[in-house]
Amino acid sequence: MKEEIKIFFTALMFYTRIPCPKDIDHSPEYINKATRYFPLIGWIVGTISFLIFWLSSFLFDINISVIFSFIAGVLVTGAFHEDGLADVFDGFGGGWTKTKILDIMKDSRVGAYGVIALIFLFSLKFFALNNLLSNIHAINYFLIALIFISYHSLSRLTAINIVFTSQYSRADEMSKAKPIANAHSYKEIFGAYFFGLIPLALLCVLQWKFCFVIIPLTLLYWYSKRYFNKWIDGYTGDCLGAVEQIAECVCLLTFLALWKFI
């Protein structure tokens, strides 16, 4: 139990900006094991985002409240995944060989492709979540909380699936994402799926139609893995961040479509 707590705090330290106990470090062994808690981090980020939305709704309309919820998510994670999305669009948009793509992604500067991708991503997420919540006629904060937690946990499960089924692309050992590329035991896989799917299962008790979100997320995982393998022979940490962000967008758009048309 003591080791599991340390693994959890390692995940919390690696994936968020939330303060952790002083004895927690970035041990490669524990970072590798921490993948089992990646979707659980989604619970935490989703809960914080929901709470900010809920508190903001007492003072502002739904539009401003949704924006504040996004700000909360970015602050909690330190824009960890958004940075990956921008790097991936810059890399794959400006590079035509594996070496060039990886070099561009490693550059700390953000280019036009990355900026444009972030603008479109946040726009889609904003309008999707805003429209979804606006269509929930009888305000049900438990349902809304599950929506927040589900789209954060499912997006992280989608991204971590690439780690379980693909190989790390970079050869350098200094990359901050290198430790999670090691072999994973059944504990990491079971933990990721357990924490990734539990919020959706609870959500489906209230709205069974939301279970269909698994279909587009599976397609996103399959296409992303195939695309990354084609161009860079695997994945990088930036690739995982990009998939996580796109999966959030896919979740919200699918929830909205299911709510309106089924």
Is 108 a residue whose pLDDT tops 70?
A: yes
Name residue, tokens 């007492």.
Answer: 58
Q: What is the mean pLDDT of residues 106-111?
A: 89
What pLDDT is attached to residue 161? 96
Residue with more model confidence, 111 or 181: 111
pTM of the predicted structure, to 2 decimals: 0.93
Q: Which of 66-75, 158-167, 178-187 has the lowest mean pLDDT?
A: 178-187
Q: Which of 30 and 245 is assigned the larger pLDDT?
A: 245
d(CA 25, CA 20): 9
173 vs 15, higher pLDDT? 15
Using pLDDT thresholds of 50, 70 and 90, give the confidence band for residue 171: low
pLDDT at 134 > cutoff 60 = yes
- Among positive and negative, which fits the CA dihedral 63, 65, 70, 74? positive
Closest CA to 62 of 8, 137, 122, 6: 137
Per-residue pLDDT of 232-262, as tens digits, reads 999 999 999 999 999 999 999 999 999 988 7
Among 28-32, 38-42, 159-163, 182-186, where is mean pLDDT lowest? 182-186
Q: Which of 1-5, 145-149, 180-184 has the lowest mean pLDDT?
A: 180-184
Q: Does the pLDDT value for residue 178 go beyond 80?
A: no
pLDDT tens sequence across 193-204: 999 999 999 999
